[in-house]
Amino acid sequence: GIVFNATNNIWLAILACLATGTLCGAINGLILTRFTELAPMIVTLATTTLYRGLSERILAGESTKGMRNVEWFAKIYDLRFGPVPLLFVLFVIFAVVFGLVMHKTVFGRQMYAIGANKKAARYAGIKVQKIRMIVFTLTGFICGQLVPAYIFQVNVQVYSVHHRSADSVHILLSAGFRA
């Protein structure tokens, strides 16, 4: 929001989203590769709350309503292939690409091995912490790609941490943790 409002340049705003998402993913990866005893779900929920709080503090009430006024940007997100929205088509493309990566590459098989048993994967010669760091950073990058679409859909980036605080409790309870 700040980059777009300051520069009125949609490309810089999208680049800022990608960079911020990648950085946040890398921070999660660093935490989880340095402190291996921590549960990834708990760290992710904690950093999500941290990132939301930081964005609320940094934005200080600024919104990104102006992004909807960028005509070509609006056309992209309103684009449909018949009744199917572009965002769904992009989802299908991502799903196919990631399915191929997971099933047809060494990297994908390494991720499966780590997910099944980290200790066995380490004994098999897989650099577990390196792969985990790459996965968390990649996840942040992918989230950064989705931010412009999300901002466009809701037409505002101002977000209160308190609006979603119950979500964390519901996620923990559904995962079997006691609150």
Report pLDDT for 64: 56
Report pLDDT for 158: 46
Report pLDDT for 14: 81
Look up residue 2 and give its two tokens: 């700040």
Report pLDDT for 154: 58
Look up residue 119 and give its two tokens: 């200790």
Pairing outcome for strands 80-81 and 84-85: antiparallel
pLDDT tens by residue, 40-88: 999 998 998 898 888 777 776 665 555 556 666 666 667 788 888 887 8
Per-residue tens of pLDDT for the chain, all 179 residues? 677 777 777 788 888 888 999 999 999 999 999 998 899 999 998 998 898 888 777 776 665 555 556 666 666 667 788 888 887 888 899 899 999 999 999 999 999 999 899 999 999 999 999 999 999 999 999 888 877 776 666 554 444 444 555 454 444 444 444 43
DSSP output for 52-119: HHHHHHHHTT---GGGGG-HHHHHHHH-EETTEEHHHHHHHHHHHHHHHHHHHSHHHHHHHHHHH-HH
Closest CA to 116 of 100, 101, 102, 104: 102
Contacts for 14 with CB less than 8 Å, ≥ 6 apart: 148
Q: What is the Cα–Cα distance from 85 to 78, expressed in whole angstroms?
A: 7
The model's pTM is 0.75
Beta bridge partners of 129: none
Amino acid, res. 162: H
Longest Cα separation, the chain: 55
